[in-house]
Every structure is written in structure tokens, then in C-alpha cells.
Structure 1
Amino acid sequence: MSEIKNLTLHHYPLSRSARVKWLLHEMRGEDFEVHRVALRQGGQYTPEYLAKNPNHAVPVLEVTYADGSEQVIFESMAILTWLADLDDRFAPKPSDLKARADYLQILALGGSWMDQMLWNIRLHENILPKAARNAAFAQFNRDKIENEITPQLVARLSENAFICGETFTAADCLTGQNLNWARAYGLCANPVLKDYMKRMKSRPAFQLAFADAKDFEG
């Protein structure tokens, strides 16, 4: 990663940015900067922040390259994929076609399908005004996680220590963060998933990434 001079993560505790923070700790220890975005106070809607991410969300990763050029990356799945490709400890190489396809599939499952179900639950149980909430829709998403997503994850983790096999990858950061989120709603309580989360939570990088969980304002 010698071509990277500095990385700054725009982050909020227990949000999707935690999955990126986790991978950064795995890769770089504490050699990156973190900027706390005050989501509950509307910090994501300031003109300065919207210039970085017009979707007014975290994470945002600001990259300063060794040549002095800069880049802004948003969307957690994109950031995870990009970061992991900088260090082949955290992703199968593109030349390993089968492993790469499996890894990308799991990233997409977690970053789109499961993530959206969890977000729908959060919207309709916690965020929207009560008059706009739809309990049936929240339950529909709960059922999909329990009946469709959980069996897929259990099947994988019954055979392997990590979500893509016997090696930790960026896909574990996404899967682990999603499971942490799901378990807060009483979902994904299968013993196989509990054991997986014990292994993830024992990792020093996980502990650093979620050390600020107490600061979450629901």
C-alpha cells in the first residue's frame, strides 16, 4: 500500500461504516484517520459533506495518494472491495476465478440483499414516524432474513471457519457487521452463527472497530 499516503474514514458508530473501519484495522492497525459524522444532528446534510457523498450517508473514504492526488469513495461494499484488492490477504485474486466469484457473490448478498432487509426493519421499527411505519413490511423482511438468508449463512459456516472458506476476507467484515446488526433485532440466533460471531468478536480489529458502540444514538 505504499502508493497510499493517507486514508480518512467518515464514520458513525454501529453504522455501515463500522464494516469498513474493521477492515482498515485489520489492514493498517490504527494507521488511518477517523472523522465522526454527527448523523443524529444532521452532519451528513452539510454542503461540505454532500460534496463528498450526495447520498448523505456513511461511510466515505478519502484517499490521498503518494503523488498528492486525492479521491473520495463512498458505498461500503465498493470501499471494502477496493481496500481488499490493495492487500491480497483479504480477497481472492481475480485470477482465482472460482474463489473470486464466490467471494464477490457473498459481498453482494451482504451488501445489497441482506443489508436492505435490515434497513427496512430499522426504518419501519425505529426511524420513520409511527404513522408511516408498516409493521407487516418489517415482519416480511424479518421472515426473509430468517427463512432465506440465515440458512445460506449457516450452511457456509457449518463447513468453514470464515464466510468464504478457511481464510478471513473482507466479506467477513460485511457479514459480521450485518450479523451484529441482525442480532440486535433478535435475528440470526442460530448456534452456528453465534459461534462465528464469537470468533469475529475475538479479533483485535473487530474490537477496535466497535469500541465506540456505546456512542451510538439510535
Structure 2
Amino acid sequence: MKIESLRLFHFPGSRSARVRWALLETFGDDFELLTLKLLQGEQYAADFLEMNPNHAVPVLEITWSDGSVQTMLESTAMVEWLADAFPEKQLAPQPGLSRERADYLQMLQFGGNWMDAMLWQIRVHRDLLPEADSDPKSVDRAMEKISKEVAPQLHGRLASSEYICGADFSAADIVIGHCLNWARAYGLCQEDVFKAYASRLGARPAFQKAFDDVVRK
């Protein structure tokens, strides 16, 4: 079965940006991009909640060649699926028993789960909750864990390799790269090795287009 069309529900710079980046690296730009006004609450509209009861982006709507429609809700799953669906783009080691595949999946999930969860705690308690409900200690704990636990692991890899899993760019760099830029916006991961890595990623045309709607301060 073939893909008839793809539609991505998006908000600039958010987790949907990593999916937009992955789409541009694999599928090209022949997909529909629908930007939601999250700050105005469009994610709570009834028709959107039918697609995603979690009232969040991304949502990737896949229309198959038989006319059926499928939705995906998890950004890391979308990135992994796209990398595997387009093996000619060489964004992932071939599925199977290999050290390379195991390491790639480990880092893909490390970014999409462990690192992302800490960054989300910072985002929620620093930027989203009312002051009366926010917990500065949660921000401090997450910042410390990234500085003392996450950053050294990434630094060790990037000090000896151009990309997170070695010499070649992969879909793991899409997820880790998005999280790293998120962390750097909070003043974390400022060392030269991270700056150089971010520069390499930022030079990719797909990256530039994926983040062309982000307002820079």
C-alpha cells in the first residue's frame, strides 16, 4: 500500500517541528502543514479532539492509497516510522540484529523520552503554569539533571563523532537535535561541542525549512 497524502498538525518550534524536519528529509515538501493556534486553544476544538484526545501536536494524518485514514500522535514514533519507510534516505540503520541499530534506537528514545521529559518539566513550570501553581524546584531539578546527567553523555559522543550515532546524520539527530536546541534556549548545553553540532544541523536545508516559522528573540 502506498501513501496518498500526509497532513501534519503543527505549532512552530514544538515537537511537531521535529516531525516536519523528518518529513522534509524523507518525504519532501509534498505534504499539508496545518498550524494550530495553541495559545488561543484551537487544540481543544471538538474536531481536533476527535483526532487527538491528548489535545496536543503533532498529529500526523496519513491517507493511504485504499482511501483509509490513519493518525499518529507520538513525535518520536513518527520520526522513526519515516526513517524506516524511506530507507533510500539512509536516516536509520536497517532493522535487524546489529550494534548500529541498537545504538540508534537507544539514542532516538533517549532524546524523545528521557531528555524531552526533563525539558517539558522546565517548560511547564517556568513558562506555562500560573505562578501560584508552578514549582521552581521542579525547574531546578530538571536543569541539574540535564547539566549533570544528560549533557555529559551527549558531549562524550559528540566530542568524538560528527553526529550522535557516529559519522553519519540519522533520524536520532532529528530528535536529539531538536531537544538540544530546546535545552540551549534555556541556557543549557552551551559548550563548544554542542554549538558546533547545532551549527552542523542548522546548515541542513530541511532543518532550515522546518524551523522557518519560529520567531527568534
For the criterion TM > 0.5, the same-fold answer is: yes
Per-residue displacement from partner, 1:52-92 (whole Å, max 9, x unpaired)? Answer: 11111110000011222211011101111111110121111
Match of 2:43 in 1: 44
* Offset at residue 215 of structure 1 (A): 8.8
Partners in 2 of 1:8 and 1:80 — Cα distance?
Answer: 14
Match of 1:12 in 2: 11
Point out where structure 1 has 5 or more consecutive residues left out of the alignment. none
| Superposed structure 1 runs of 4+ greater than 6 Å apart | none
Report the CA distance shift for 1:90/1:144 in structure 2 as closer, same or farther (over 3 A).
Answer: same
Structure-to-structure mapping, 1:125-136, within 5 angstroms: 125-136=126-137
1:113 is matched by which residue type in structure 2?
W
Question: How many residue pairs get matched?
Answer: 215
Match of 2:115 in 1: 114
Tell me how large the CA RMSD over aligned residues is: 1.4
Match of 1:177 in 2: 178
Partners in 2 of 1:83 and 1:54 — Cα distance?
Answer: 23
2:155 is matched by which residue type in structure 1?
V
Partners in 2 of 1:179 and 1:79 — Cα distance?
Answer: 19
2:166 is matched by which residue type in structure 1?
G
Partners in 2 of 1:49 and 1:215 — Cα distance?
Answer: 28
Structure-to-structure mapping, 1:121-160, within 5 angstroms: 121-160=122-161
* Offset at residue 29 of structure 1 (A): 2.7
Match of 1:74 in 2: 73
1:136 is matched by which residue type in structure 2?
K
* Offset at residue 202 of structure 1 (A): 0.5
SS at match of 2:85: coil
1:163 is matched by which residue type in structure 2?
I
Match of 1:32 in 2: 31
Match of 1:83 in 2: 82
Match of 2:201 in 1: 200
- Per the normalisation by structure 2, the TM-score is 0.95
Partners in 1 of 2:120 and 2:64 — Cα distance?
Answer: 34
1:212 is matched by which residue type in structure 2?
D
Match of 1:103 in 2: 104
Partners in 1 of 2:62 and 2:170 — Cα distance?
Answer: 21
- Per the normalisation by structure 1, the TM-score is 0.95
Report the CA distance shift for 1:16/1:156 in structure 2 as closer, same or farther (over 3 A).
Answer: same
The answer to whether the 8 A contact 1:18-1:210 is kept is yes
Partners in 2 of 1:122 and 1:100 — Cα distance?
Answer: 31
The answer to whether the 8 A contact 1:13-1:215 is kept is no
Match of 2:192 in 1: 191
2:178 is matched by which residue type in structure 1?
Q
